[in-house]
Structure 1
Amino acid sequence: MGLLVFTYKTVIDAPIEAVWTFFSTAENLAKITSFPRVTILSNPETLEGNTIQMKLHFAGLYVNWTSKITYVHAPNCFIDQGVKLPFPITEWSHTHSFIENGSRTIMEDIVMFNAHVTSFVMRPILIAMFQGRELAIKQEFK
């Protein structure tokens, strides 16, 4: 299909240090992701070289996902690269960027991926997932 790119921005009412601390563990990824539900099965730390194993829950079905943290530049950015991905995804690289904006933080997610289905199918799934995360993040930093 070719590499596809999806971006999503979230403005968080918290300083960059607090946002970085929150995203320094994949346990909080599980906390803010309701679709699909996520269970972390390994060391959750956002450390360069760390491999994070997850189980994704889809209405009674379970699939495994393994990502490796390939780059960390605290408190501004980290990248996770898909190692073992569920169908239909064949490639996944997710850059998490954090930009200080006064007492707020702008978080930008850039996902580069390849899949066995078109962006017409994947885009609504990613939008739903990131919108759900945005709502949970805003609740977390009230």
Structure 2
Amino acid sequence: MRLCLKTRVDQSLPAVWAGFDQDLFERLSPPFPPVQVIRFDGCRRDDVVHIRLNFFLFRQDWISQIVDQKTEENEIYFVDQGTKLPFFLTYWHHRHRLLRVPADGVSGQTLLVDDVTFRTPFLLTDYLFYPVLWLQFAYRKPIYRRWFSRS
């Protein structure tokens, strides 16, 4: 199943790329489930991100590897692929795209695109999980806007 959300921010492409660090990653985590960052190497090829989800009665580890990253004039992207996933996911592929907004009288804007492909153990749960996942990513939109606002 595929999910794609877009957020425009008021910062240049290089500034947004420079802001993709562990501090931003931790701020993007929704209130539930609480997330503990075990390892955060960064957003470049072969980096690893390991988090622990706390569901209070049990915990689940989620480990992703950055399997691709590229920097071009008008786009920077990186792809995290789940290598160890919580029980409710069987596949995770998240392409983070940072796109330079064409000059339209407003300079220095970037479009952030969260392009996620996921699977759960059953097709039915894919559909049930979709709105939950959509809300988790929609939660990020105001955080991105605040984080990358011009001060």
Q: Same fold judged by TM-score > 0.5?
A: yes
What is the total number of aligned residue pairs between the two structures? 138
* Partner-residue secondary structure (3-state), 1:29: helix
Query: What is the TM-score when the length of structure 1 is the normalising length?
Result: 0.87
Tell me which protein shows more strand as a share of its residues. Answer: 1
Instruction: Give the superposition deviation at 1:115.
Output: 0.5
Write out per-residue CA displacement over residues 56-103 of structure 1, whole angstroms, 9 at most, x where no aligned residue. Answer: 234564321000000111361000000000021000000001110131
Gaps of 5+ in 2: 102-106
1:83 aligned onto 2:83: yes
Identity in percent: 27
Distance 1:119 1:69, change over 3 A: same
Shift of 1:43: 3.6
Structure with the greater alpha carbon radius of gyration: 2
Unaligned 5+ runs, structure 1: none
1:2-41 counterparts in 2 under 5 A?
Answer: 4-23=1-20, 25-34=21-30, 35-41=32-38
Distance in 2 separating the partners of 1:123 and 1:91 = 13
Q: Quick one: distance in 1 between partners of 2:41 and 2:34?
A: 16
Q: What RMSD in Å do the two structures reach over aligned CA positions?
A: 1.8
- Normalising by structure 2, report the TM-score: 0.82
Measure, in 1, the Cα distance between the counterparts of 2:129 and 2:65.
22
* Cα distance in structure 2, aligned partners of 1:141 and 1:36: 25
